[in-house]
Amino acid sequence: MENNSKSKNRREFIQSGVRLSLALALGGVGGLALSKVIEDDWVWQIDPFECTQCGRCATDCVMSPSAVKCVHAYDLCGYCDLCGGYLKPDANALSTAAENQLCPTAAIERKFIEEPYFEYHIIEDLCIGCAKCVKGCTSFGNGSLHLQIIHDICLNCNECSIARVCPSDAIKRVPASEAYKVKGDFTNNPES
C-alpha cells in the first residue's frame, strides 16, 4: 500500500513536472513571440542622401541579383524629356532605343504623358541596383531616383555585406517599423 502510494506520488510528480515544463516552454515561446512583436527589429537600409552611387550595391549583396533596387519618388521628379537617369549622358537622341538607355538591364520604362512630360517607372524584377540611373538623376535632375534595400528580397544578414564595403557609410540598421528611407516623404533636413 505504501509502495502503491509512493509510486502514485512519483507518477503525479512526473506528470506535474511535464505539465510545468510544457507550460514554461509555451510561455517562453509565447513570451519570445510577444517580445518580437513589442520590441522593434532592426533591418538594413540605405540613406539615399548619403549614397554616392558607387555601384557596389549591385556587386556586393549576397543575393543575386541584389536585394537593392532603384525606387522612384514621383513627387520629386521633373518628368523631363531629357532624363539624366534614363538617357546616357550626351545620348544621340531622346528615345527609347537601346543605344540611348543608361540602364544596363532596361529596367526603366519611359512613357509619354503629355507635352512636355514623360513618366519613368522602375521594373523591379529587372533592376540589379547598379545605381547608374541614380547617379544620372542626382547629377542632372531632381534626384528622384534612389536606391533602397527591398525587404521581401533582403535576407537581413547579420552583417550586410554591402554595408561592409559601402564607401559612404550609407547603409545602416534602421527599426523594422521604419524599414524604408524613401525620398520625397522625408528630407535630410534634421529639423523636419
**Cα(14)–Cα(33) distance, rounded to whole angstroms?**
28
Which does residue 14 touch among ligand SF4, another protein, none (CB within 5 to 8 A, set by kind)?
none
SS percent in the chain: helix, strand, coil, step 5: 35, 20, 45
Contact between 144 and 187 under an 8 Å Cβ cutoff? The reply is: no
Contact between 70 and 149 under an 8 Å Cβ cutoff? The reply is: no
149 makes contact with ligand SF4 (CB under 6 A): yes
Contacts of 41 (CB under 8 A, 6+ apart): 175, 176
The residue range among 11-19, 26-34, 133-141, 155-163 that interacts with another protein, by the rule CB under 8 A, is: 133-141
The residue range among 16-24, 25-33, 165-173, 181-189 that interacts with ligand SF4, by the rule CB under 6 A, is: 165-173
181 makes contact with ligand SF4 (CB under 6 A): no
Contact between 138 and 83 under an 8 Å Cβ cutoff? The reply is: no
57 makes contact with ligand SF4 (CB under 6 A): yes
59 makes contact with ligand SF4 (CB under 6 A): no
Give contact residues for ligand SF4 (rule: CB under 6 A). Answer: 44, 46, 51-57, 61-63, 67-68, 70, 103, 105, 107-108, 122, 127-133, 147, 149, 154-157, 160-162, 166-168, 170-171
